[in-house]
Chains A and B, each alone.
Chain A
Amino acid sequence: MTERAVGRRVFLGMLGLGAAGVLTGARIQNAMSKVLGQLTAHDPTGLSTYIPAAGRFRIYSVTNSLPHRSDAEYQLTVGGMVERPMQLSFADLKALPATHLVKDFQCVTGWRVAGVKWTGVLLSDVLDHVGVKPGGKALLFKSFDGQYTESLTMTQARRPDVIVAYAMDGDTVSQMHGGPVRMYIAPMYGYKSTKWLASIEVVNDVIPGYWEVRGYDVDAWIGHSNGRSDQPV
């Protein structure tokens, strides 16, 4: 009777495949995303979006449940170093000039959702609406999840691709995606775009946000931060 060391081969084979996968996975994933993009677009069950690399949103929340606020009860507090601190309702935001963007959403963990349709108010317009006092150099965003915070410099906040979003892909922003109102900061990684936006405060210096005190870059330019080189948005 001959005996063969099959177990060891299976074990070593897996290590080899694992290493090969790390080296070539990015290319395989790109190729697959193209094929899967077609598939998931025509999949009524939505199950195919769970295949790795299917180019879908993954829902990240730092608190124990998704916070909920209806459109009717929603209030955005804008305050700090401003001339006219105010509370903006959902209707108030919609009454301001709307900005439409069609841009990708890129997560710092690697996934990217292509061509998302965003609608909202330019953050710059909101700031003009309340009037920034001299000395207001940065912004502090807070989420009504009670935990999450984010930051931007005033220069970053004035960009034409930074909006307070109230619609996404032709619908209101769902609870999962941070509705009723969230930030969308196109040129930066997703963690900069605060979901379930509660307040915007004008401050005199940048206060690093939730993930930034946990090691992520404060200036989170896509492709030029966090050691990544993704295609900028």
Chain B
Amino acid sequence: MAVATSPSDVLIRFDRVERYVHWINATLFGACIATGAALYVGPLSAIVGRRELVRTIHVYSGLALPIPILIGLFLSAGFRADVRRFNRFSDADRKWLRRKVRRSSGSYGLGKFNPGQKLNASFVAGAIIVMAMTGSIMHWFEPFSDSWRTGATFVHDWLAFAIVIVVIGHLRFAFGDPDALSAMRRGTISRKWAQDKAPVWHDELVEPPPPPPPPPPLLVKRLPDRQPSDHKRTEPPER
């Protein structure tokens, strides 16, 4: 593997804000999963105890999850652009998802994120909201009927299982691709990685995509504007 030796061999993948958002949320997710396990798994509850404290940590780490994301969206244009990327699935993405044989992802012409990463991001965003809502019903239960409380617990328990599975998958892929993992730590990634795994993104960086159609040339646009106004200006009768 080529070692990046000059600055031009290295591309910026995540800005500082995005990395902070990622690691703060990773810590909060870790806290939610650890305390959630201590609340749910009998033998663990028995070892950990301190139910009130564990519950408080669990509830507030969960409710805090959207905060870094919202602050990040406010601060970082790069993050906002990446969120738009998570949303959009290209033809290449759909082909990659339907592939039977694992080929190098570059051969599909993927962008900055592969479809798995996009689905993961959307899933995590949805999960944060659903867990916060159902968890709130469980914690501040008084206004809710039994049926809602049981329903909220049902959703919270099952989605928690799904989240743990998705997080394990996320960690496996991250540790399976040290370059990508280091990009989330340092922000940069080698040009070779980008060419190989995210060629469309690489090309965007090297040669920015054609900007939205530029405004028509000055003369053409302004002339019709100016004429009437010039006309008007001369029109008022002056005495």
B121 at the interface (CB under 8 A from A): yes
B27 in the interface, Cβ–Cβ < 8 Å?
A: no
Q: CB distance B90 to A1 under 8 Å?
A: yes
Which B residues are in CB contact (< 8 Å) with A63? Answer: 49-50
Other-chain residue from B49, B122, B147, B154 in contact with A10 (beta carbon distance below 8 A) = B122
> If A29-B154, A52-B154, A60-B51 touch, does A15 touch B87 (CB 8 Å cutoff)?
no
Closest to B87 in A: A7
Q: Mark B122-135, 1 if CB is under 8 A from A, else 0.
A: 11011101100110
Whole-angstrom distance between the alpha carbons of A6 and B118 in the complex? 9
Q: Is the CB of B89 within 8 A of A18?
A: no
Among residues 61 to 86 in chain A, which have CB atoms less than 8 Å away from a CB atom of chain B?
61-66
Could you say which of A5, A26, A65 contacts B150, with CB atoms under 8 Å apart? A26
> Is B197 an interface position by the 8 A CB rule?
no
Q: Which residue of A lies closest to B91 (CB)?
A: A1
In the bound complex, do residue A228 and residue B146 qualify as a contact, i.e. CB atoms below 8 Å apart?
Answer: yes
What band does the interface of chain A fall in when counting residues whose beta carbon is under 8 Å from B? 35 or more
B13 at interface, CB cutoff 8 A:
no
With A7-B89, A58-B40, A60-B51: A109-B129 Cβ-Cβ less than 8 Å: no
Residues of B near A10 (CB, < 8 A) are 119, 122-123, 126
A29 to B89 Cα, complex, angstroms: 35
Closest residue to A145 on the B side, CB-wise?
Answer: B49
Pair A6/B151 contact, Cβ less than 8 Å? no
| Nearest CB in chain B to that of A7: its residue | B87
A25 with B155: CB separation less than 8 A: yes
11 A-B pairs with CB atoms under 8 Å apart are: A2-B90, A7-B87, A7-B118, A15-B126, A26-B146, A58-B40, A61-B51, A62-B51, A65-B49, A227-B141, A228-B149
Q: Is A170 an interface residue (CB 8 A)?
A: no
Partner of B130, one of A8, A15, A28, A60: A15
Q: Which of these, B41, B92, B126, B150, contacts A25 with CB under 8 Å? A: B150
Is B158 in contact with A18, judged by CB distance below 8 angstroms? Answer: no
Residues of B within 8 A of A12 (CB): 126
Residues in B neighbouring A228, C-beta threshold 8 A: 146, 149
Q: Is the CB of A109 within 8 A of B153?
A: yes
Answer whether A24 and B151 are a contact pair too, CB < 8 Å, given A5-B88, A63-B50, A66-B49. yes
- How far, in angstroms, from A1 to B94 measured CA to CA in the complex? 11
B126 touches A110 (CB 8 A): no
Q: Does B45 contact A (CB under 8 A)?
A: yes
With CB as the reference atom, state the residue of chain B lying closest to A22. B151
Q: Is B159 an interface residue (CB 8 A)?
A: yes
In the bound complex, CA of A50 to CA of B152 (Å): 17
* A110 to B19 Cα, complex, angstroms: 40
Q: Is A214 in contact with chain B by the CB < 8 A criterion?
A: yes
A14 at the interface (CB under 8 A from B): yes
B110 to chain A, nearest CB (A): 12
Other A-B contacts than A18-B126, A23-B151, A227-B146, 14 sampled, CB-CB below 8 A, are A5-B88, A14-B122, A15-B126, A15-B130, A21-B155, A22-B134, A22-B148, A25-B150, A25-B152, A59-B45, A60-B45, A61-B45, A62-B49, A176-B46
Interface contact B150-A6, CB-CB below 8 Å: no
CA distance A29 to B130 in the complex (A): 18
Q: Smallest distance from the beta carbon of A104 to chain B beta carbons, Å?
A: 15
Find chain B residues with CB under 8 A from A66 CB. 46-47, 49
